[in-house]
Amino acid sequence: MQKAVWWNKRTLLGGIALVLLTWILYAQVSHFDFVNLDDDDYVASNVHVQAGLTWDTLRWAATSREASNWHPLTWISHSLDWGLFGGNPAGHHLTSVLFHSLDVLILFLGLTRVTGRSGRSLVVAALFAVHPLNVESVAWIAERKSVLSAFFFLLALVAYGWYGRKPGLARYLMVLGLFILALGSKPMVITLPCVLLLLDVWPLARVSGWTQPSEVFPAPQRTVRQLLLEKLPLFACSAASAAITLIASRATVPVNLLPLSARVENALYSYAIYIWKAFWPAGLAAFHPYQANGLSATSLALSGIFLGGVGLIAWRKRRTTPELAVCCLWYLGMLVPVIGIIQVGAQAWADRYAYLPLLGIFVMVVWSVGDLLDRYTWGVRLGAVLAAVVVFALSLVAWRQIGYWQNSEVLWSHALAVTKNNEIAERCFGEALLSSGREDEAIEHLDKAVQMLPADPETHRWLGASLQGQGRYREAAQEYEIELRLADDPVLISNAQANLGFCYTVTGNARLGAELYEHAFQTDRKSVERVIENLSRMANETPSSETYLRLGLLLYYSGRRSAGRAACEQALAIQPNSELIESVIRDMTAGTTSP
pLDDT in tens, 364-400: 999 999 999 998 888 889 999 999 999 999 999 999 9
Which tens digits make up the pLDDT trace of 426-446? Answer: 999 999 999 888 999 999 999
Which tens digits make up the pLDDT trace of 18-55? Answer: 999 999 999 999 999 999 999 999 999 898 999 988 99
Burial class (CB in 10 A: 0-12, 13-18, 19+), 53: middle
On whether the CB atoms of residues 210 and 201 are closer than 8 A, the answer is: yes
Least confident of 215-219, 256-260, 271-275, 354-358: 256-260
Looking at the predicted structure, is the pLDDT value of residue 290 above 90? no
Q: Tell me the DSSP string of 381-437.
A: HHHHHHHHHHHHHHHHHHHHHHHTTSSHHHHHHHHHHH-SS-HHHHHHHHHHHHHTT
309 vs 117, higher pLDDT: 117
Rounded to whole angstroms, the Cα distance separating 155 from 159 reads 6
Residues 132-148, mean pLDDT to the nearest whole number? 98
Closest by Cα among 546, 548, 421 to 472: 546
Q: What is the mean pLDDT of the chain?
A: 90
Looking at the predicted structure, is the pLDDT value of residue 251 above 60? no
Looking at the predicted structure, is the pLDDT value of residue 488 above 50? yes
Residues 154-181, mean pLDDT to the nearest whole number? 97
Residues 513-535, mean pLDDT to the nearest whole number? 91
C-alpha to C-alpha distances, 203 to 114, 195, 198, nearest whole angstrom: 6, 12, 9
Residues 89-117, mean pLDDT to the nearest whole number? 97
Least confident of 180-189, 337-346, 406-415: 337-346
Looking at the predicted structure, is the pLDDT value of residue 595 above 60? no
Please give the DSSP secondary-structure letter assigned to residue 353. G
Closest by Cα among 290, 285, 277 to 415: 285
Whole-number pLDDT of residue 347: 81
On whether the CB atoms of residues 69 and 249 are closer than 8 A, the answer is: yes
Residues 303-321, mean pLDDT to the nearest whole number? 73
Residue 4's pLDDT band (cuts 50, 70, 90): very low
Least confident of 37-51, 258-272, 325-339: 258-272
Question: Angle formed by the axes of helices 144-165 and 192-201, to 10°?
Answer: 40
Whole-number pLDDT of residue 255: 44
What's the alpha-carbon Rg for the chain, to the nearest Å? 27
Please give the DSSP secondary-structure letter assigned to residue 500. H
Burial class (CB in 10 A: 0-12, 13-18, 19+), 170: exposed
Q: Tell me the DSSP string of 33-86.
A: ---TTTHIIIIIT-HHHHT-S-HHHHHHHHH--GGG---HHHHHHHHHHHHHHT
Rounded to whole angstroms, the Cα distance separating 213 from 439 reads 67
Coil, helix or strand at residue 376: coil
Rounded to whole angstroms, the Cα distance separating 564 from 539 reads 13
Looking at the predicted structure, is the pLDDT value of residue 2 above 60? no
Burial class (CB in 10 A: 0-12, 13-18, 19+), 559: exposed
Helix (H) or strand (E) holding 550: helix 545-557
Neighbours of 24 (CB within 10 A): 12
Helix (H) or strand (E) holding 114: helix 89-115
Q: Tell me the DSSP string of 246-315.
A: HHH---BPPTTTS-HHHHHHHHHHHHHHHHHHHHS--S--S-EEPPTT---HHHHHHHHHHHHHHHHHHH
Rounded to whole angstroms, the Cα distance separating 578 from 580 reads 5
Rounded to whole angstroms, the Cα distance separating 501 from 364 reads 60
On whether the CB atoms of residues 513 and 504 are closer than 8 A, the answer is: yes
Closest by Cα among 350, 352, 193 to 287: 350
Whole-number pLDDT of residue 296: 62
Residue 321's pLDDT band (cuts 50, 70, 90): confident
Closest by Cα among 94, 108, 47 to 75: 47
On whether the CB atoms of residues 540 and 547 are closer than 8 A, the answer is: no
- Please name the amino acid found at residue 166: K
Least confident of 32-46, 145-159, 263-277, 499-513: 263-277
Residues 355-368, mean pLDDT to the nearest whole number? 95
Looking at the predicted structure, is the pLDDT value of residue 300 above 90? no
310 vs 518, higher pLDDT: 518
Closest by Cα among 306, 356, 361 to 334: 356
Looking at the predicted structure, is the pLDDT value of residue 1 above 50? no
Which tens digits make up the pLDDT trace of 542-573? Answer: 899 999 999 999 999 999 999 999 999 999 99
CA atoms within 13 A on the CB side of 350: 21
- 0.85 exceeded by pTM: yes
